[in-house]
Amino acid sequence: MSGLEPLLLRHHHRVLVQGLTGTQGSFWAEKMRDCGTTIVGGVNPRRAGTTHLGWPVFGSAQEAMGAVGFDTALMFIPPAAAKEAALDAIAAGARGLVILTEHIPSHDVLTILGAAERAGTRVVGPNTAGLVTPGEGFAGIMPGHNANVFRPGRVGVVSRSGSLGTLVCLNLTRAGLGQSAFIGIGGDPMLGTRTIDALRALDEDAGTDAVVLVGEIGGAMEETAAAYASGMKKPVVAFIAGAAAPPNRRMGHAGAIVAGSAGSHAGKCAALAAAGVGVVATPAEIAPALAARL
């Protein structure tokens, strides 16, 4: 069982960026650094031995582990190369592995998650927008550097979606509720970190007083998390996207599809409400519902 600790990103966590030298890797690495993230280097086999934006570039994650050491690897890697990069980071002994890539072939995802489970690596994603801890840093493609969106505070946020998660954090900040952590778990159907894992991490975190759970139709992650939430002392408020989605259509995320009654909006809301979670109908209702429970 992989640890939950990498889910709450800290300034002292050493982050390796796989794909650092690409356009997105470069853009976001500088944003992360400016936000407090400790980036120790990058990986690009073709540019091993050089430096990029002041960071050393290694031929592999395993080489980087020997040279500078790291806790979490963050992948800016295209789908066809994702399996190899992930297995490299896992073999290197990464404790955390954040996979931003969308559209990784599902058999490659199975291979990655199987290897991570055996090695004890905590995978976040695939198809996640990443992790943000306001005041400490972020790892991913979230506006962690935008003080209108993220402020240090005591509300933990779990979200499958990056864009919706951003909106929810923005609304919390506007309502004067800062965040202890944002955990983007990803929009794929098969994930290394599920809703319940993120919920458990925030439940165990002394810096978190309450949790916002941002879910989506499809799968059974919210239903499983509801069972856990019923035993939590911290208040939980949930918003589930997809109430108006037509059946049997993939709503953007590969995981967001309702087939038959499984994964339906009504089923998820009912399970969460029965567990004592405050279920709201629009994102603007989240902050007031949370304030009423704090």
Partner 1 sequence: MNLAEHPAKTLVLRPAGIAVPEGEICTTPEAAAGAAGRLGTVMVKAQIPAGKRGKGGGIRLAANPGEAARAARAILGSEVSGHRVSAVLVEQAAAIAAEYYAAVLHDAASATSLVLFSGEGGMEIEEIAATRPAALSRHHVAGGEEFTREEARAMLADQNLGAEREEVAALLVSLFRRYRETDAELIEINPLARLADGSLLALDCKFILDDAAAYRQPELSARAAPEPRTALEARGAAAGLKYIELPGDVAILANGAGLTMTTMDAVHHFGGSAANFLEIGGEAYTKSEAALALVLANPNARSVVVNFCGAFARTDVMAEGVVRAWQSLNPDLPVFFSVHGTGEAEAVALIERELGLTPFDFMEDAVKAAIAAAGAHR
* Structure tokens belonging to residue 287: 């902050």
**Largest CA-CA distance found in the chain, in angstroms, rounded:** 56
Task: Provide, rounded to whole angstroms, the least separation between the CB of residue 24 and partner 1.
Answer: 8
The residue (of 80 and 294) whose beta carbon lies closer to partner 1 is 80
Question: Is omega for the bond preceding 56 within 30 degrees of 0, making it cis?
Answer: no
> Of 9, 47, 4, 6, whose CA–CA distance to 25 is shortest?
47
* 58 versus 150: smaller Cβ distance to partner 1: 150
Q: Which is nearer to partner 1, 7 or 129 (CB)?
A: 129
Q: What is the DSSP string of 21-69?
A: TSHHHHHHHHHHHHTT-EEEEEE-GGGTT-EETTEEEESSHHHHHHHT-
What is the smallest separation between the CB atom of 165 and partner 1, expressed in angstroms?
A: 7
The SS3 call for residue 288 is helix
Q: 35-59 in b/e burial notation, b at 16+ Cβ within 10 A?
A: bbbbbbbbbbeeeeeeebeebbbbe
Q: How far is the CB of 10 from partner 1 (least distance, A)?
A: 21
Nearer to partner 1, 169 or 234 (CB): 169
Which of 267, 277, 182 lies closest to 231, judged by CA? 277
Going from the C-alpha of 59 to that of each of 20, 56, 212, the distances in angstroms are 12, 10, 40
Contacting residues toward partner 1, per CB under 8 A: 24, 79-80, 102-107, 109-115, 117-118, 129, 141-143, 146, 148-149, 159-167, 170-171, 187, 189-192, 214, 216-217, 219-220, 224, 239, 241-246, 249-256, 260, 281-284
Closest to partner 1 by CB, 12 or 107: 107
d(Cα 122, Cα 234) in Å, to the nearest integer? 24
Nearest approach in angstroms of CB 260 to partner 1 is: 7
Q: Please say which residue, 2 or 234, places its beta carbon nearer to partner 1.
A: 2
Q: How far is the CB of 84 from partner 1 (least distance, A)?
A: 13
Distance CA 215, CA 199 (A): 12
CB of 141 to partner 1, least distance (A): 4
Q: Using CA of residue 100, residue 18, residue 140, residue 67, what is the dihedral sign?
A: positive
Residues designated as active site: 253
Which stretch of DSSP H or E encloses residue 152?
Answer: strand 152-159
